[in-house]
Structure 1
Amino acid sequence: MAKGNAAESKSSTSTGAAAAPDATRPAPAPETSQISVSRGLSDWLVAHRTSLAFTSYQTGQLFLVGRQPNGSVSFNQQNFNRAMGLSWANGRLYLGSLCQVWRLENMLRPHERANDVFDVVLVPRNAQTTGDVDIHEVGVDAEGRVVFVNTKYSCLCTLDLTYSFKPIWKPGFISKLAPEDRCHLNGMAMANGRPAYVTAVSRSDILTGWRERRHEGGVIIEVETGRIVTDQLSMPHSPRVADGRLYALDSGRGQIIEVDPQTGEKRDIAFCPGFLRGMTIHDGHAIVTVSKPRDGTFKHLSLDAELAARDAEAWCGILIVELSTGNLVEWIRLEGHITELFDVTAMPGVTCPMAVGPDTQEFRGTICFDAGILHGASLAQAA
């Protein structure tokens, strides 16, 4: 493989395991963030053979988390305007942003390493423009089509070469597709290569009607039938199907839950100190994002009272919870400028990833091609 300067990763930083933040630690400077991790995170990544990716729509950043050869935890960050939903599928990363869905491809072959550290270098190869439709979660179906939650138009969509998007499903209670964010459709569970369940904050069919229903009436909907599985949730997010079980985030209560898809009965798994938005299930663990409140968004939610009852402040970060016990086993915490995260995904089989961001020197100078295609042949023959 011929390539340019992809190994020059100026935005890549790393940190070793750290103790929990305390009052003696200097506060981060304005417009900066300090990242700390649990002591066992590095070993957890190794034991479960994965790395992680997560996003902050607040600051427009994609973070990749891995383990360096010396055992320290690596953080690589790149800028993508309003970085939102993530999907790791078939060795590539899909990312929803302000008005585009990005496809990032690994430019390395299996035996190659960048900077002698990174076993995956993700390069943006395609950005499909959708316009600002408030893209939330992203998935890939069995045919390889990108499916995303179009929150502004209250529907599920795929990409289209001509139009901004191609609608493929909407809740039965939505009377028409309009740019009104009527029910705040926000989460999508993929199962057996197709969208299986979605979450919405309410069944409202008027302009931003969901805002008056944040404390109750949140729904999980079965896509194939349109059936409401449950309407007893508070600002639900991120439905996920794993090992035949349905999980979700009851965000207004701060709970990771399991839901019976037939009866709608819910079971609390773990309380998390912050507003839950993103979740991925990996190897018996729920990996979730938590955020601090924005403009009083916790008011009138059970989460506010739950934090007060525990004499706790909201976190911004990543929590790893063992599903069988509900125990919090590892964490990443961000303090300072970044206070809100969106999605997280596991990247099984990847040890230490990095990405190349758009509008950077690396983006312009990272060039690779398969030089072997011309081995023993003239250019005319290859053409």
Structure 2
Amino acid sequence: MNDLMLPVSGSQLENSQFLELTNYQISVTPYFTQWLAEQQVSLALTNTLGHSLFLIGLKPNGELAVCECKFDRCMGLTVVNSNTLYMVTRFQIWRLENALSAGQIAETGADRIYLPQMAYTTGVLNIHDIAVDAEGSVVFVATRFNCLAKASTTKNFEPLWCPPFISHIMAPDHCHLNGLALHNGKLAYASSFSQTNTHEGWRQCQRHGGTITDIATNEIVVSGLSMPHSPRVYQGQLWVAQSGTGEFGKVDIKSGKFEPIVFGAGFLRGLAFWGNFAIVGSSKPRHSDFFNDLVLGERLAAQSLEPLRGLHIIDLKAGEIIHSLSLEGVQGEIYDVVVLPGVRRPVAISNPDDIQKYITVGFSQSL
């Protein structure tokens, strides 16, 4: 027997405060919505200091559909089979499950309703990137403890690995370990702002202290980066956002060099791929002087550019940005972005008053 969601009420969804943006302005380049339709995908992104999860899809008439949900300090985000989202918050990792049955469409047109189903309580680890490995384990970067870790049902976290320049697993943050890449479902690469082993030593190395380390060999594959984030392995290449310069590019493992592909006119962070495209998040400075000591600030000033808060879609073959989305009137910084394949109009629920109205029932085959 099929699973059920009780009830699927259009009026309840319409009354939710999380479906559509009301206080913010969102703009996209002319063919952004056409790209979503052609690729048959939706997007999800987290806004850290804005405490928001945004879901970007399309209405039946092809117009942009945006859902915003409030969670405390959203950070890393990962998706499993378009039906399960894992999201980092201040001291928990939430698992959100699609409450609709396969092929079911809500009265509002939503084809995914992501509902919080469980959470790992981690404590304040300052978790950044998160992933699900080949064994189904939830793995993440415990930045405050300078290590990679695994979620646990009985402890706050289980340490898995720390960089070779860190003497032991400890708090507080010494090197600002932040990024995590899997390859064939296994831990492969990690990014950090520095190789320092002292309390907040990374703060003195933001311009050129960044590294990416091979987790299996403990070898540093590239160094001299400026605030690297979001390492990812895709199409046999190691990609990374060099946030301090506003560049997205790839790493030549043999030469140990970073090869920039595009300049994104923002603090780039959060990276996903689909087909021959990369989707990268972009943020404005947290403080007015944040970019002053970075190459990014120099490039923005030289070109009289305003940094973008939103995301870019990059054509990997052409090596250029082809579409962008901008969030205006929104505070905070974009941290992560994921692609939702085969999803047209996703929504999520975060308000307890709304969560309690939805009850999903999983029937066993014997009933």
Answer yes or no: same fold by TM over 0.5: yes
CA–CA separation in structure 1 for the residues paired with 2:145 and 2:5: 43
Per-residue CA deviations over 1:44-65 (Å, capped at 9, x if unaligned) read: 0121121100001111110111
Unaligned runs of 5+ in 1: 16-27, 376-383
Aligned to 1:4: 7
Alpha-carbon shift at residue 284 of structure 1 (Å)? 1.3
CA–CA separation in structure 1 for the residues paired with 2:29 and 2:17: 22
Aligned to 2:66: 75
Alpha-carbon shift at residue 362 of structure 1 (Å)? 1.4
CA–CA separation in structure 2 for the residues paired with 1:343 and 1:111: 28
281-290 or 234-243, larger mean C-alpha shift = 281-290
Aligned to 2:211: 219
Unaligned runs of 5+ in 2: none
CA contact (8 A) 1:234 1:250 kept: yes
Secondary structure (helix, strand or coil) at the match of 1:287 reads strand
CA 284–35 in structure 1, closer or farther in 2 if over 3 Å, else same? same
Q: Match of 2:341, as an amino acid? A: P
CA–CA separation in structure 1 for the residues paired with 2:94 and 2:125: 15
**What is the correspondence of 1:33-44 to structure 2 with a 5 Å cutoff?**
33-44=24-35
Q: Match of 1:302, as an amino acid? A: V
Question: Is the counterpart of residue 332 in structure 1 residue 305 in structure 2?
Answer: no
Q: Match of 1:42, as an amino acid? A: T
Alpha-carbon shift at residue 326 of structure 1 (Å)? 2.1
Alpha-carbon shift at residue 116 of structure 1 (Å)? 4.3
CA–CA separation in structure 1 for the residues paired with 2:5 and 2:307: 47
CA–CA separation in structure 2 for the residues paired with 1:374 and 1:142: 30
Secondary structure (helix, strand or coil) at the match of 1:365 reads coil
Question: Is the counterpart of residue 57 in structure 1 residue 48 in structure 2?
Answer: yes
CA–CA separation in structure 2 for the residues paired with 1:11 and 1:240: 34
CA–CA separation in structure 1 for the residues paired with 2:349 and 2:336: 19
CA–CA separation in structure 1 for the residues paired with 2:281 and 2:169: 30
Alpha-carbon shift at residue 339 of structure 1 (Å)? 4.2
Aligned counterpart for 2:315 among listed residues 313, 322, 338:
322
Alpha-carbon shift at residue 5 of structure 1 (Å)? 4.8
Aligned counterpart for 1:261 among listed residues 229, 243, 253:
253
Alpha-carbon shift at residue 338 of structure 1 (Å)? 2.0
Aligned counterpart for 2:229 among listed residues 206, 217, 237:
237
**What is the correspondence of 1:184-199 to structure 2 with a 5 Å cutoff?**
184-199=176-191
Aligned to 2:292: 299
Aligned to 1:282: 274
Q: Match of 1:48, as an amino acid? A: Q
CA–CA separation in structure 2 for the residues paired with 1:243 and 1:100: 32
CA contact (8 A) 1:12 1:75 kept: no
Secondary structure (helix, strand or coil) at the match of 1:43 reads helix
Give TM-score scaled by structure 2 length: 0.94
CA contact (8 A) 1:238 1:249 kept: yes
Alpha-carbon shift at residue 337 of structure 1 (Å)? 3.4
CA 361–173 in structure 1, closer or farther in 2 if over 3 Å, else same? same
CA–CA separation in structure 2 for the residues paired with 1:93 and 1:339: 21
Alpha-carbon shift at residue 329 of structure 1 (Å)? 1.1
Q: Match of 2:146, as an amino acid? A: S
CA contact (8 A) 1:229 1:261 kept: yes
CA–CA separation in structure 2 for the residues paired with 1:165 and 1:137: 15
CA 329–293 in structure 1, closer or farther in 2 if over 3 Å, else same? same
Alpha-carbon shift at residue 179 of structure 1 (Å)? 1.6
Alpha-carbon shift at residue 306 of structure 1 (Å)? 0.6
CA–CA separation in structure 1 for the residues paired with 2:163 and 2:196: 10
Q: Match of 1:231, as an amino acid? A: S
CA–CA separation in structure 2 for the residues paired with 1:114 and 1:46: 19
Alpha-carbon shift at residue 33 of structure 1 (Å)? 2.5
CA–CA separation in structure 2 for the residues paired with 1:37 and 1:239: 26
Aligned counterpart for 2:135 among listed residues 143, 153, 156:
143
CA–CA separation in structure 2 for the residues paired with 1:372 and 1:216: 56
Secondary structure (helix, strand or coil) at the match of 1:149 reads strand
Secondary structure (helix, strand or coil) at the match of 1:343 reads strand
- Superposition RMSD on alpha carbons, in Å? 1.7
CA–CA separation in structure 2 for the residues paired with 1:49 and 1:337: 27
Secondary structure (helix, strand or coil) at the match of 2:204 reads helix
CA–CA separation in structure 1 for the residues paired with 2:322 and 2:230: 20
Per-residue CA deviations over 1:188-237 (Å, capped at 9, x if unaligned) read: 11110011111100001011110000000200111111110011210000
CA 355–6 in structure 1, closer or farther in 2 if over 3 Å, else same? farther
Alpha-carbon shift at residue 372 of structure 1 (Å)? 7.6
Aligned to 1:24: none
CA contact (8 A) 1:6 1:356 kept: no
CA–CA separation in structure 1 for the residues paired with 2:235 and 2:9: 38
Give TM-score scaled by structure 1 length: 0.90
CA–CA separation in structure 2 for the residues paired with 1:101 and 1:193: 20
Identical-pair percentage: 38
CA–CA separation in structure 2 for the residues paired with 1:120 and 1:241: 27
CA contact (8 A) 1:214 1:235 kept: yes
